[in-house]
């Protein structure tokens, strides 16, 4: 249900004036078609809290119903169109007043939708895990650990990347292609990442997928240099031409570990706090090129650091190997 999550992160807001009057809440919630009712909901555990993003996920039960429910609560962002109305109709409670600075708690009127909630019922154990906080661990992957643990784990757990071949063979998403260099060795297809709506340039996010079947950063060496340089040059030129965003406003990087094992390069707008730009996952394409120019076997020999989540197959493989005490 990726679509539900994606909609949730940038919901289309109704204008205040379009909303029905909801000021006479009697402490109840609308019942949905399955007879679910928040008044009858009991939280059994808080799965995840994110105080920065103002999110919370809960597991719980409905009175008189079997099975678990997962509930996502998410505050709605402020909206340019309605913020003036929200402010002028809010009741305020001053909490601090010092010279030119003052702070308030604000109470909005009730005819204003204030948070979004997503309910999953009945929820399976997979749902509960998906929406739970998972412990993370750093792996210091030496050359030896790569050969003996990572590589074997990935080979054993072959993930399907049929969808990547569908793109490369133009069976799917060909209408989304922004640029292509068809060369089988040094060429690539550039297209918008699924997280980007292709409209809001502040969150511009594209991916270059190589025609060459290279698994990951670990397999790059001096033979990959023409490919990498081609992606850097032709990719940024295409983005400047198509979207008018210059290279000085782009973050260009490869993930290790990647989410799929077919070489791809991420181009995201600096302004966009894109997932996966942390130093424990992202490797700048420019630095990759420079490191290989210095030493063709740089990425074969290098210790690479990344995080694994408790439920990842890689975490299990490293645990079985005795890496985590």
Closest C-alpha among 280, 227, 274 to residue 252: 274
Active-site residue flag, 213: no
* Residue pair 274/266 in contact by the 8 Å Cβ criterion: yes
Judge whether 261 and 161 are in contact, CB under 8 Å: yes
Site for its own copies in 88-117 (CB under 8 A): 88-94, 96-97, 100-117
315 marked among binding-site residues:
no
Please report how close the Cβ of residue 28 comes to its own copies at its closest, in angstroms: 7
Cβ contacts of residue 121 below 8 Å, gap of 6+? 34, 36, 62, 65, 67, 68, 69, 70
> Which part of the chain contacts its own copies (CB under 8 A), choosing from 39-47, 154-162, 188-196, 205-213?
39-47
Listed in sequence order, the residues at least 6 apart from 183 whose beta carbon sits closer than 8 Å to its beta carbon are 211, 230
Residues 178-207 within binding reach of its own copies (CB under 8 A): none
Write phi, then psi, for 168 (nearest 5 degrees).
-65, -30
Pick the closer one to its own copies by CB: 164 or 217: 217
Would you count residue 87 as binding its own copies (CB under 8 A)?
Answer: yes
Instruction: Tell me: is residue 195 an annotated ligand-binding position.
Output: yes
If the CB atoms of residues 52 and 156 are measured against its own copies, the closer one turns out to be 52
Tell me whether residue 163 is annotated as binding: yes
Count CB atoms within 10 A of the CB of residue 290.
Answer: 11
Separation CA 113–CA 86 (nearest Å): 11
Give the one residue of 6, 15, 35, 75 binding its own copies; rule: CB under 8 A. Answer: 75
- String marking each residue 45-64 x if it binds its own copies according to CB under 8 A: -x--xxxxxxxx-x------
* Residue numbering of the annotated binding site: 163, 173, 193, 195, 255-266
* Residue numbering of the annotated binding site for substrate: 163, 173, 193, 195, 255-266
């Amino acid at each position: 249900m990726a679509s539900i999550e994606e909609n949730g992160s940038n919901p289309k807001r109704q204008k205040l004036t379009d909303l029905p009057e909801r000021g006479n809440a009697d402490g109840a919630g609308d019942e949905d078609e399955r007879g679910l009712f928040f008044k009858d909901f009991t939280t059994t555990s808080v799965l995840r809290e994110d105080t920065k993003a103002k999110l919370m996920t809960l597991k719980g039960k409905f009175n008189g119903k079997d099975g678990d429910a997962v509930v996502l609560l998410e505050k709605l962002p402020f909206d340019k169109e309605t913020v003036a109305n929200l402010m002028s109709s809010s009741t305020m409670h001053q909490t601090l007043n010092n010279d030119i600075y003052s702070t308030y708690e604000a109470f909005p009127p009730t005819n204003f939708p204030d948070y979004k909630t997503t309910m999953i019922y009945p929820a399976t154990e997979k749902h509960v895990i998906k929406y739970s906080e998972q412990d993370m661990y750093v792996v210091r992957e030496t050359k030896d650990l790569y050969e003996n643990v990572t590589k074997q784990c990935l080979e054993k757990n072959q993930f399907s990347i049929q969808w990547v071949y569908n793109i490369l063979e133009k069976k799917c998403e060909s209408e989304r292609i922004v640029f292509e260099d068809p060369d089988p060795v040094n060429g690539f297809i550039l297209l918008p990442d699924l997280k980007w709506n292709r409209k809001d340039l502040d969150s511009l996010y594209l991916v270059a997928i190589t025609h060459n079947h290279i698994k990951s950063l670990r397999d790059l060496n001096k033979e990959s240099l023409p490919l990498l340089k081609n992606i850097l040059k032709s990719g940024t030129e295409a983005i400047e031409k198509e979207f008018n965003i210059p290279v000085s406003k782009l973050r260009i990087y490869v993930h290790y570990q990647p989410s799929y094992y077919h070489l791809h390069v991420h181009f995201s707008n600096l302004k966009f706090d894109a997932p996966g730009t942390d130093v424990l996952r992202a490797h700048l394409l420019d630095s990759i090129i420079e490191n290989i120019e210095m030493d063709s076997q740089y990425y074969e020999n290098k210790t690479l650091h990344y995080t694994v989540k408790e439920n990842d197959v890689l975490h299990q493989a490293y645990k079985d190997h005795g890496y985590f005490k």
